[in-house]
Structure 1
Amino acid sequence: MAMESSLWSTCDYSHNVTFFYNLVGKKISVEWATRDVVVIGVGLTVCVIVVLANLMVMVAISMNHRFHFPIFYLLGNMAAADLFAGIAYANLILHTGPWTSTLTKEQWYIRGTLIDMSLTASVGNLLAVAVERHQTIITMQLHSKMPKRRVVLLIVCIWAVSIIMGLVPSLFWNCECDLEDCSTVAPLYSRRFLIFWAILNLLTFFIMVAMYARIFFYVRYQISHMSQHTSEIRQTVVSLMKTISIVLGAFVICWMPGLVTLLLDGLLGKASHANAFEKFCLVVAECNSLVNPIIYSLRDEEMRRTFKWILCCLCRRGGNNPRELSPVGIYPRLPEGTAGCVLRSEEQAVCPETSSKEDSWTISGV
Structure 2
Amino acid sequence: MDTVKEDIGGCYYNRNVQFFYEASGKNISSHWRPRDYVIVSLGMLVCFIVIFSNILVMLAIFINKRFHFPIYYLLGNLAAADLFSGISYLHMMFHTGPWTIKLSKYQWFVRQGLIDTSLTASVVNLLAIAVERHQTIFTMQLHSKMTNRRVVMLIVGIWLVAILMGLVPTMGWHCLCDLKNCSTMAPMYSRSYLVFWGLLNLLTFTVMMAVYTRIFLYVRHKSQRMSQHTSQVRHKETVVNLMKTVSMILGCFVICWTPGLVVLLLDGLGCDRCKVLRYEKYFLVLAECNSFVNPIIYSFRDKDMCRTFKRILCHLCRRDSGEESTARFTSLDQEVQSESHGGQHLSHGADR
Residues 1:28 and 2:28 aligned together: yes
Residue 348 of structure 1 is matched in structure 2 by: none
TM-score (norm 1): 0.85
Residue 85 of structure 2 is matched in structure 1 by: 85
The CA deviation at 1:326 is: 6.6
8 Å CA contact 1:28–1:97 kept in 2: the answer is yes
The CA distance in 1 between the partners of 2:235 and 2:169, in whole Å, is: 49
8 Å CA contact 1:48–1:86 kept in 2: the answer is yes
Partner of 1:15: helix, strand, or coil? coil
8 Å CA contact 2:70–2:146 kept in 1: the answer is yes
Equivalent residue in structure 2 for 1:292, among 280, 291, 294? 294
Equivalent residue in structure 2 for 1:312, among 306, 311, 314? 314
The CA deviation at 1:202 is: 1.0
The CA distance in 2 between the partners of 1:75 and 1:354, in whole Å, is: 20
- Amino acid in structure 1 at the alignment position of 2:23: L
The CA distance in 2 between the partners of 1:264 and 1:46, in whole Å, is: 27
- In the TM superposition, 1:1-366 aligns within 5 A as 10-226=10-226, 228-230=228-230, 232-233=234-235, 235-236=237-238, 239-240=241-242, 242-243=244-245, 245-296=247-298, 299-317=301-319, 322=325, 323-324=327-328, 329-330=333-334, 341-342=342-343, 351-352=345-346, 359-360=350-351
The CA distance in 1 between the partners of 2:246 and 2:43, in whole Å, is: 28
CA change 1:186–1:38 in 2 (3 A) is same
CA change 1:248–1:84 in 2 (3 A) is closer
Percent of matched pairs sharing the same residue: 57
Partner of 1:169: helix, strand, or coil? coil
RMSD: 2.8
The CA distance in 2 between the partners of 1:54 and 1:332, in whole Å, is: 19
CA change 1:267–1:340 in 2 (3 A) is farther
The CA distance in 1 between the partners of 2:306 and 2:336, in whole Å, is: 19
Residue 3 of structure 2 is matched in structure 1 by: none
The CA deviation at 1:341 is: 2.3
- Amino acid in structure 1 at the alignment position of 2:143: H
The CA distance in 1 between the partners of 2:321 and 2:145, in whole Å, is: 43
The CA distance in 2 between the partners of 1:353 and 1:88, in whole Å, is: 37
CA change 1:144–1:176 in 2 (3 A) is same
The CA deviation at 1:41 is: 1.2
8 Å CA contact 2:47–2:86 kept in 1: the answer is yes
Partner of 2:128: helix, strand, or coil? helix
8 Å CA contact 2:298–2:306 kept in 1: the answer is no
How many residue pairs end up in the alignment? 342
Residue 4 of structure 2 is matched in structure 1 by: none
- Amino acid in structure 2 at the alignment position of 1:352: L
The CA deviation at 1:242 is: 3.8
- Amino acid in structure 1 at the alignment position of 2:343: V
Partner of 1:185: helix, strand, or coil? coil
Post-superposition Cα deviations, 1:249-281, rounded to whole Å, max 9, x if no partner, equal 312211110110111000125443211111111
Gaps of 5+ in 1: 1-6, 344-350, 362-366
Partner of 1:342: helix, strand, or coil? helix
Partner of 2:10: helix, strand, or coil? coil
Per residue, is there more helix in 1 or in 2?
2
The CA distance in 2 between the partners of 1:64 and 1:191, in whole Å, is: 46
